[in-house]
Amino acid sequence: MIDFPEVGKIQDDFLKSHVFPASGAVRGEVFKGPKYGVDTSVVNITESLSLITATDPASLIPTLGLKESAWLTVHLVASDIATAGSMPQYAQFCLNLPEYITAAQFDEYWGWVSTFCEELGVAITGGHTGKVQGQNSTVSGGVTMFSCVETNSVLTSDMAKPGDDLILVKEPAIISTAILALSFPETIANACGEEVLRKGQELFYQSSAVQVANDAVSLGIHEDGIRAMHDATECGVMGATIEMMMAAACGVEIYEDRLVKGEVQQMIGDLFDYDPLYTVGAGALLISANAKHSERITQSLAGKGYPVQIIGKVKEKEHGMLLMGKEKKQLKHPGTDPYWNVFFDSLKKGLK
């Protein structure tokens, strides 16, 4: 029997052996159900109208702050909806709060959750709220968002096709770098300098993929441009690439010399001994685009101020997943994102 990982997101083998075989009733209107590498589900309500849903953890990270935790809670799941080609419209929150939270702290946290939802046009339609004895996790429940859209406008990450160009918009390790910089400022300032600390902290509000996904969709979808999108969360850009290709049953070639890690991300990654390319990178967006339109798409997104690069080519599944550098290397999913151990080990060590 395949066992749980010690920490982090469950991977493909466990899902296939434990989760996917037990998915409740079979209903014909479910167009996209649970699938590895696909962060959204799609239910076809009518012939022309579909319901997109996505679920993610709710964040409550004391070292980060209540406002910042609320931002992550809203924008991480909103980013998933946005990668399906739609802005989120409705949300349900299940909050299992730690015992130490006071009414005043909850008011601040929830006030920011409401504000960030309002900014995105998201109505909060219900949920559950309570305190849980012994709850000390930075995950304080879950959030589900919904959007009703025209069926022919839906994108999912498994729609990539061989021949597409793979585009990376924004840099890797945005959110992991920002959280570490906000959580352990003295450690980073002493080792890397105040300028690196400041730039690392300033990355925080770039950790949403909502706007960049919306900008990308405006450039055309399906045969006219964007075929599929996937935000770079667990295990970063490289993990997201592997997930996306597995979902689409495709291979891929990644050009190593086009993988820019970001100076600040690399310096903080070196300090904590992890590779930014394999570390949670919410905010960065992978796009599989019809190669006929990829140059137009990259130029348009660059014109809006986004760092953007064609980093690879989608291939047939039989080609495999390869990192093309001085030598060809097989791409392998790391399984567990190094961020989790880095963050909690740093807390245990008392880093400031």
Q: What is the pLDDT of residue 260?
A: 86
pLDDT, residue 174, reads: 97
pLDDT confidence band for 15 (50 / 70 / 90): confident
179 band by pLDDT with thresholds 50, 70 and 90: very high
Tokens of 285: 């967006």
β-partners of residue 123 are: 90
**pLDDT tier at 247, thresholds 50, 70, 90:** very high
Q: Please determine, for residue 12, whether its predicted confidence score (pLDDT) is greater than 90.
A: no
Q: Calculate what percentage of the chain has a pLDDT beyond 90.
A: 89
The confidence score (pLDDT) of residue 11 equals: 76
pLDDT of residue 118: 98
Residue extent(s) of CATH 3.30.1330.10 domains in the chain: 12-153
Calculate mean pLDDT across residues 141-145: 97
Residue range 195-232, pLDDT digits in tens:
999 999 999 999 999 999 999 999 999 999 999 999 99
Whether residue 308 contacts residue 298, with contact meaning beta carbons closer than 8 Å, is answered with yes
Whether the CA torsion 310, 316, 320, 326 is positive or negative: it is negative
For 157-348, CATH gives: 3.90.650.10
pTM (predicted TM-score): 0.94
* Percent of the chain residues topping a pLDDT of 70: 98
Q: Is the pLDDT of residue 2 over 70?
A: no
**pLDDT given at position 335:** 81
Task: Evaluate if residue 52 carries a pLDDT over 90.
Answer: yes
Which regions of the chain carry the CATH code 3.90.650.10? Answer: 157-348
Instruction: With cut-offs at 50, 70 and 90, classify the pLDDT of residue 8.
Output: low
Q: Which residue has the higher pLDDT, 333 or 67?
A: 67
Spell out the CATH class of 12-153.
alpha beta
Q: Is the pLDDT of residue 188 over 90?
A: yes
Q: Supply the pLDDT for residue 5.
A: 65
What pLDDT is stored for residue 17 in this prediction?
Answer: 82
> 278 vs 13, which has greater pLDDT?
278
